Chain A
Amino acid sequence: MFEIDDLKKGFGTAGARALFEGLSMRVQRGECVAIMGESGVGKSTLLNCMAGLEPADGGSIRLDGSELVGLGDDALAGLRRRSFGFVFQAFHILPHLDVAQNVALPLWLLDVDDAEADRRARAMLERVGLRDRARDWPRELSGGELQRVAIARALVHRPSLVLADEPTGNLDPGRAAGVLDLLLECIRDAGAMGILVTHSQAAALRADRILRLTAGGLLPEAERT
């Protein structure tokens, strides 16, 4: 389970101005939650706090019972390596690695041996429909294909939590739906948790729950309406 309690984050000198505070939420295994909100309300900052990439100013973040707030940089990196997967709006596929190597990258960081890493990467590529593109270079792929590679990379090491920041923001609506369905399906199949930050109502509706980030906190979409 992923739990946030009374989370606080500010900006300016020493976090003088509150961006958000008193945020709490729970995500269960196999569940995908979408977070929506106006621009500048702090959605991406919240995502970064969840990943330990930005320090919270107060509150608690726990992944499967382990507290993230207060951990050192290296410990957080180790946690991300084992338990987190990321999908970015701009894909961020490394151009000097081929498709299979990009997918295998998290396994390399976990010191999985080459043959096993390659086998698992190929299996993930098959899962996202790119079995035949394993040895292609990223520049040879379309935007939709690149995001499928990113999904495979996010899940290949069987993380507990996948964080996706506008994962379909760079895709046309037709492809966006397919890619998003694939992402959510993969997360559910893996028994992982998914948190999706998006502007898109259509994308958010595919999640199990929608939370809206406002000045008052994280509110369930139904409650808000």
Chain B
Amino acid sequence: MSRVLGRIFVASLARRRLATALSLFAIALGVALGLAVQIIHGAALDEFGRGMRLLAGEADLQVAGPRDGFDDALYGRLAMRDEVADASPVVELEVRLPAHDRSLPIFGIDALRVARVHPALMPQVDEARRDGAALAALQSDALFLSPAAEAELGVSAGERLEVLAGTRVVSLRVAGAVPGAGQGRVLAVMDIAAAQQLFGRSGRITRIDLSLKPGIDVAAARDALAPGLPAGVEVLTPRASEALAAGLSRAYRVNLTMLAAIALVTGGFLVFSTQFLAVARRRQEFAFLRALGLERGALMRGLLVEGAVVGFAGGLLGIALGHGFAAVAFDVAGGDLGAGYFSGMTPALRFDLPASGTYLLLGVLAGLAGAWLPAREARRMLPARALKSGDEASMFRFHPRPRRAAACLAGAAVLCLLPPLGGVPVFGYLAVALILVGAVLVLPMLVRGVTRIASRPRRALWRLANARLAAAPGQGVVAGAGVVASVALAVAMAIMVASFRDSVDRWLTAVLPADLYVSASPQGTSGFLDPAALARIAALPGVSRTMPVRFDTVRLDDRHLPVSLIARPLDGGRLLPLVGLATPPPVGEKPAWVSEAMADLFALGAGDRLVLPLGGNPVAFRVAGVWRDYARQQGAVAIELADYRAATGDLVANDVGVFLAAGTSFDTVAAAVRDILGENAVRIASPGEIRARSLAIFDRTFLVTYAMEAVAVLIGLFGVSTSFAVLAIARRKEFGVLRHLGMTRGEVGRLITLEGVLTAAAGTALGLVAGTAVAFVLIEVVNRQSFHWSMDLHVPFGGLLVFAAIVIALAGLAARVSGYQAMRGSAVLAVREDW
């Protein structure tokens, strides 16, 4: 058998070089994309986890509160607890660097305690510049940079670094390094008291890391500590913190993995179409082998081995390509592939043996899956009949399966109603798969419909094309299914992305009502506008009114990440992009508007009671509506600024929106703001600039999606091209007869093109319909369950029609080029071969 395998089956792959190479390359691309996504996210997550562990150090538990921090008196109380061996307070700050147009994470630490709880953050004083100070690390202007921060900022020990505190620019002295931070982590460390004082955080810390006494059970200690904590402060294990933070990017990672999987499935389909057509072509050869005594099972195994060999070789190539793609993607888009989940990290690329092994296996499985139906078809063949001319036509008499198609579509509809599994829209993806399968099952019916239309013209070419497609719809299915799958995918992504972009655009217009925005530190903590600065801006000539915005985070429980708190004038919710109707709260109750993500994650709806920890105290609100927010996947709650100030006494703002008086120019007021606050202290932007910047980020985020989609469409077109190439070769005798009967080469070429165009038209029409259905599932189920945001359907009709026309034209061209090769040979030789 092994000799037969080698000489009959595997050797045939070498004879069909073009088809084999395209199948192999398609699988390689699928494997490469999936593996690259896996490698990149694996490395980014590893680095992310390392960073989290580095910051957690030896801590068994972390006590964490809102971004603005909590009363540092809690530190003293926890340090005295019997369970606690050591406690280390931390102030985490994202500090704007005016000279570098970026921010730097600074950790305010207690230098006397940090060594025992998180030694990696231990600052090391530069001995050459100690200047005789005994406790150099405790000096108020001393800053210690990690090696990565030194490298990225180009600042070294002894030099100074300017940071923004409120609207003041302060110069800090680089007094040494944080060698334990490793090479990939950009951060700085300074004394906690100095940080509190400098950045207006006196008496407030953001985190306490606890290491427990030996023998103390972590879970029990956590349960014991939790009741005594102020509102909005939670006690977590470092692992839970890491899982929560990493979970934020999971939906995005799953989405990209699914796209890669679709590319791999398309590759498997290509194996199917080439194997199916090869089996049709080699039918008499197989019948002869069966007549010579080859068992059915051996024939099937031989064909499966062919598929597996293609899958294995494609998998090996894909592993090499995948690592190459990952290396390029690291350089171009970073470890988060442009999505912004892991910014500030520089993960290292390494060979991932388990992932490579898994994807190699997936490549083999794709090859096997593609070869399965053709092998089964060959197994069922009756040798006596197959030896006769024209029996291969029986392979292409696909029967329409309307019931199965209807069952697939009904199943997809039911799956759309099911909730996500572990935050992942598993059933949504299954629904997408069922829609695609249903569409392929509908294809034979559609091909028949197309042939009826095609039969109307009385030209010989149309009649011949019609007769062929009607008698052998299977050929249309084999060639057209690749078109259906790739067009559906492309259309679905195009509609989804267009809907998303359109919705984001309109959302930005709604959330940016002012004429000019002054930002002290974009959602960060080190820059802020104090009441005096706000008053000076409001008093500027040409300013009709201002809208201060305060950003913070609040922790509602230990099972979710902190949600964003946005406090600003909201005019009873009229200044928010609400989804559905607003429900004003009863008189005397304070309104809060939750984002769709928050509504989903915390099961909240209009009218529900919501308690927010503000200023260390629980404050009751009533949910007055749900609003659309594309910026904060972990959820956001918006409240009136007056309610926030009343509850917290915090009068500062991060941003202020400025409404200009009629006739006042943007530039005049922007210049006036810079005059009073300083050139580098704030950023000033128009809503148009913010919108353009946001949409650029949006497009960058979808860059990888576009690239992967393009690859899947490319593989689909490979499929069409390969199918027609193999079909054309298999039909050489038919073309030879037609040439004998008086058809010119040009007419035969036009016949092949016509068949390609008709097949592609049927596939494209179905792909457009299926793609719209898939887009609906992506928008209403996958995105909703993955990212918790809704969007309005926006179909880019013009673009889709152009795309459809291009696909049909390319398919016709592919058929024509493929046919050209088949017609190059002599018509005489073609008919001389046995039919």
Cβ–Cβ contact B390 & A81, under 8 A = no
Which among B468, B736, B739, B834 is the interface contact of A77 at CB below 8 angstroms?
A: B739
Shortest Cβ gap from A71 to chain B (Å) = 12
A91-B389, A111-B460, A139-B388 given; A96·B471 CB < 8 A: yes
A90-B834, A90-B835, A111-B459 given; A53·B742 CB < 8 A: no
Nearest CB to that of A51 among chain B residues?
B740
By a CB distance below 8 angstroms, the chain B residues around A90 are: 389, 831, 834-835
Cβ–Cβ contact A95 & B741, under 8 A = no
Cβ–Cβ contact A80 & B740, under 8 A = yes
A15 within 8 A of B: no
Which among A44, A108, A138 is the interface contact of B464 at CB below 8 angstroms?
A: A108
By a CB distance below 8 angstroms, the chain A residues around B737 are: 88, 92, 94
Cβ–Cβ contact B740 & A96, under 8 A = no
B530 within 8 A of A: no
Tell me how many residues of B have a C-beta within 8 Å of chain A.
37
Bound together, the chains give a CA A51 to CA B740 distance in angstroms of 8
Q: Looking at the complex, which of B235-243, B743-751, B799-807 is the stretch in contact with chain A?
A: B743-751
A92-B835, A113-B458, A114-B458 given; A81·B741 CB < 8 A: yes
Bound together, the chains give a CA A209 to CA B227 distance in angstroms of 116
Cβ–Cβ contact B742 & A80, under 8 A = yes
Shortest Cβ gap from A50 to chain B (Å) = 12
Bound together, the chains give a CA A95 to CA B389 distance in angstroms of 9
By a CB distance below 8 angstroms, the chain A residues around B827 are: 53
Cβ–Cβ contact B394 & A139, under 8 A = yes
B828 within 8 A of A: yes
Cβ–Cβ contact B828 & A73, under 8 A = no
Cβ–Cβ contact A81 & B835, under 8 A = no
Shortest Cβ gap from B834 to chain A (Å) = 6
Bound together, the chains give a CA A73 to CA B742 distance in angstroms of 10
Bound together, the chains give a CA A137 to CA B391 distance in angstroms of 11
B463 within 8 A of A: yes
The count of A-to-B residue pairs whose CB atoms sit within 8 angstroms is: 91
Nearest CB to that of A81 among chain B residues?
B742
Cβ–Cβ contact A139 & B741, under 8 A = no
Bound together, the chains give a CA A77 to CA B390 distance in angstroms of 25
By a CB distance below 8 angstroms, the chain A residues around B4 are: none
Bound together, the chains give a CA A91 to CA B834 distance in angstroms of 10
Shortest Cβ gap from A118 to chain B (Å) = 11
Bound together, the chains give a CA A78 to CA B742 distance in angstroms of 6
A84 within 8 A of B: yes
By a CB distance below 8 angstroms, the chain B residues around A109 are: 460, 741-743
By a CB distance below 8 angstroms, the chain A residues around B745 are: 73, 77
Bound together, the chains give a CA A139 to CA B471 distance in angstroms of 12
A91-B835, A96-B467 given; A53·B739 CB < 8 A: yes
A32-82 residues with Cβ-Cβ distance < 8 A to B are 44, 48, 51, 53-54, 73-74, 77-82
Cβ–Cβ contact A81 & B743, under 8 A = yes
B555 within 8 A of A: no
Shortest Cβ gap from A121 to chain B (Å) = 13
Cβ–Cβ contact B393 & A84, under 8 A = no
* A interface bracket (residues with beta carbon within 8 Å of B): 35 or more
Bound together, the chains give a CA A74 to CA B748 distance in angstroms of 12
Shortest Cβ gap from B9 to chain A (Å) = 26
By a CB distance below 8 angstroms, the chain A residues around B742 are: 77-82, 84, 106, 109
Bound together, the chains give a CA A79 to CA B741 distance in angstroms of 10
Cβ–Cβ contact B460 & A138, under 8 A = no
B734 within 8 A of A: yes
By a CB distance below 8 angstroms, the chain B residues around A93 are: 390
By a CB distance below 8 angstroms, the chain B residues around A108 are: 460, 463-464
A20 within 8 A of B: no
By a CB distance below 8 angstroms, the chain A residues around B746 are: 74
B535-564 residues with Cβ-Cβ distance < 8 A to A are none
A48-B828, A101-B467, A111-B460 given; A96·B393 CB < 8 A: yes
A92-136 residues with Cβ-Cβ distance < 8 A to B are 92-98, 101, 105-106, 108-109, 111, 113-114
Cβ–Cβ contact A77 & B744, under 8 A = yes
By a CB distance below 8 angstroms, the chain A residues around B472 are: 96
B733 within 8 A of A: yes
By a CB distance below 8 angstroms, the chain A residues around B741 are: 80-81, 86, 105-106, 109, 153
**What sequence of 0s and 1s flags, for each residue 818-835 of chain B, a beta carbon within 8 Å of any chain A beta carbon?**
000000001110011011
By a CB distance below 8 angstroms, the chain A residues around B832 are: 44
Cβ–Cβ contact B458 & A139, under 8 A = no
By a CB distance below 8 angstroms, the chain B residues around A139 are: 388, 390-391, 393-394
Cβ–Cβ contact B388 & A96, under 8 A = no
Shortest Cβ gap from B832 to chain A (Å) = 8
Cβ–Cβ contact B390 & A138, under 8 A = yes
Which among A74, A88, A113, A137 is the interface contact of B831 at CB below 8 angstroms?
A: A88
By a CB distance below 8 angstroms, the chain A residues around B389 are: 90-91, 95
Cβ–Cβ contact B744 & A97, under 8 A = no
Cβ–Cβ contact B471 & A97, under 8 A = yes
By a CB distance below 8 angstroms, the chain B residues around A114 are: 458, 463
Bound together, the chains give a CA A114 to CA B457 distance in angstroms of 10
Bound together, the chains give a CA A153 to CA B737 distance in angstroms of 12
Shortest Cβ gap from A171 to chain B (Å) = 14
Bound together, the chains give a CA A98 to CA B190 distance in angstroms of 88
By a CB distance below 8 angstroms, the chain A residues around B393 are: 95-96, 139
Cβ–Cβ contact B467 & A92, under 8 A = no
Bound together, the chains give a CA A54 to CA B830 distance in angstroms of 13
Bound together, the chains give a CA A95 to CA B470 distance in angstroms of 12
Bound together, the chains give a CA A98 to CA B392 distance in angstroms of 16
Cβ–Cβ contact B390 & A95, under 8 A = yes
Cβ–Cβ contact B739 & A94, under 8 A = no
Bound together, the chains give a CA A20 to CA B233 distance in angstroms of 103
By a CB distance below 8 angstroms, the chain A residues around B459 are: 111
By a CB distance below 8 angstroms, the chain A residues around B826 are: 53-54
**Residue among A88, A96, A97, A138 with most chain B CB within 10 A:** A96
Shortest Cβ gap from A102 to chain B (Å) = 10
Shortest Cβ gap from B528 to chain A (Å) = 77
Shortest Cβ gap from B452 to chain A (Å) = 15
By a CB distance below 8 angstroms, the chain B residues around A153 are: 741
Bound together, the chains give a CA A105 to CA B746 distance in angstroms of 17
B456-480 residues with Cβ-Cβ distance < 8 A to A are 458-460, 463-464, 467-468, 470-472
Bound together, the chains give a CA A195 to CA B134 distance in angstroms of 117
Shortest Cβ gap from A116 to chain B (Å) = 11
Bound together, the chains give a CA A50 to CA B418 distance in angstroms of 72
Shortest Cβ gap from B477 to chain A (Å) = 14
A159-210 residues with Cβ-Cβ distance < 8 A to B are none
Which among B394, B464, B743, B828 is the interface contact of A54 at CB below 8 angstroms?
A: B828
Bound together, the chains give a CA A79 to CA B472 distance in angstroms of 31
By a CB distance below 8 angstroms, the chain B residues around A79 are: 742
By a CB distance below 8 angstroms, the chain A residues around B747 are: 77
A91-B389, A96-B393, A96-B468 given; A53·B744 CB < 8 A: no
Cβ–Cβ contact B733 & A92, under 8 A = yes
Cβ–Cβ contact B734 & A94, under 8 A = yes
Bound together, the chains give a CA A153 to CA B746 distance in angstroms of 23
By a CB distance below 8 angstroms, the chain A residues around B470 are: 96
Bound together, the chains give a CA A8 to CA B292 distance in angstroms of 44
**What sequence of 0s and 1s flags, for each residue 100-138 of chain B, a beta carbon within 8 Å of any chain A beta carbon?**
000000000000000000000000000000000000000
Bound together, the chains give a CA A137 to CA B389 distance in angstroms of 12
**Residue among B390, B392, B739, B743 with most chain A CB within 10 A:** B390
Bound together, the chains give a CA A44 to CA B828 distance in angstroms of 9
By a CB distance below 8 angstroms, the chain B residues around A44 are: 828, 832
Contact sample, A vs B, 12 pairs, CB 8 Å cutoff: A53-B739, A77-B743, A77-B744, A78-B744, A80-B740, A86-B741, A92-B733, A92-B737, A95-B471, A114-B458, A139-B390, A153-B741
Hey, which bits of chain A sit against chain B, CB under 8 A?
A: 44, 48, 51, 53-54, 73-74, 77-82, 84, 86, 88, 90-98, 101, 105-106, 108-109, 111, 113-114, 137-139, 153
Q: Report, nearest first, the 4 A-B pairs whose CB atoms are least far apart.
A: A81-B742, A95-B390, A96-B471, A108-B460
Extra inter-chain contacts (5) besides given A90-B835, A106-B742, A139-B393, CB under 8 Å: A78-B742, A79-B742, A80-B741, A81-B742, A108-B464
